[in-house]
Amino acid sequence: MRFGKQKIKTSGADKWFSKYIRYRDKWTCQNPKCNKEFDPKNGKERRRLHCAHIGYGRAHIPTRWEALNCMALCINCHDWLDQHPMRAFWLMSQKLSHEELVWLQLQYKGRTRGRIPKHVEKEAREKYKKICRGMGIKYVD
């Protein structure tokens, strides 16, 4: 994925976090106008549902693994979202409370580069495992 000219490196934490978000959102596109469901067991379908960074882009480290900043969106809705910032604003106002929106706004720290903290990957993996247990599904690496 590209943000302007900057190619963003992905890490293990991104992988776990993305799985966590898609399971949390029950493998369903979170755009209320779409609501398309995906089968996590089908590799082709699985790739068509993304963990989309809504309020702040993925390059913004302080909110890169913040669950409130992300939701599962299908590839089409992700494109649709990226075409206009107002769509992100609309989508967030559909899903988050006023307090959550205000909290998220305050997370802007202007930091877009730097090292990924070591504990982040572990936390992302733990969150994913926990959600697997909660849903009674087998934890897959």
CB of 71 to Zn ion, least distance (A): 10
- CA-based diameter of the chain, in Å? 42
Binding of Zn ion at residue 52 (CB under 5 A)? no
* 52 sits in which H/E element: strand 49-53
Binding of Zn ion at residue 96 (CB under 5 A)? no
| Number of residues counted as binding Zn ion (CB under 5 A) | 6
CB of 78 to Zn ion, least distance (A): 8
CB of 76 to Zn ion, least distance (A): 6
Q: For residues 50 and 127, which CB has a smaller minimum distance to Zn ion in the complex?
A: 50
CB of 91 to Zn ion, least distance (A): 11
Cβ atoms of residues 93 and 101 within 8 Å: yes
Binding of Zn ion at residue 74 (CB under 5 A)? yes
- 3-42: contacts with Zn ion (CB under 5 A): 29, 31, 34, 36
DSSP tally for the chain: helices H, then strands E: 6, 4
Binding of Zn ion at residue 91 (CB under 5 A)? no
Phi, psi of 105 (to 5 degrees): -60, -35
Residue keyed to tokens 């969150």: 127
Taking the C-alpha atoms of residue 80 and residue 52, their distance in angstroms, rounded to an integer, is 11
Q: For residues 81 and 120, which CB has a smaller minimum distance to Zn ion in the complex?
A: 81
Contact positions vs Zn ion (CB under 5 A): 29, 31, 34, 36, 74, 77
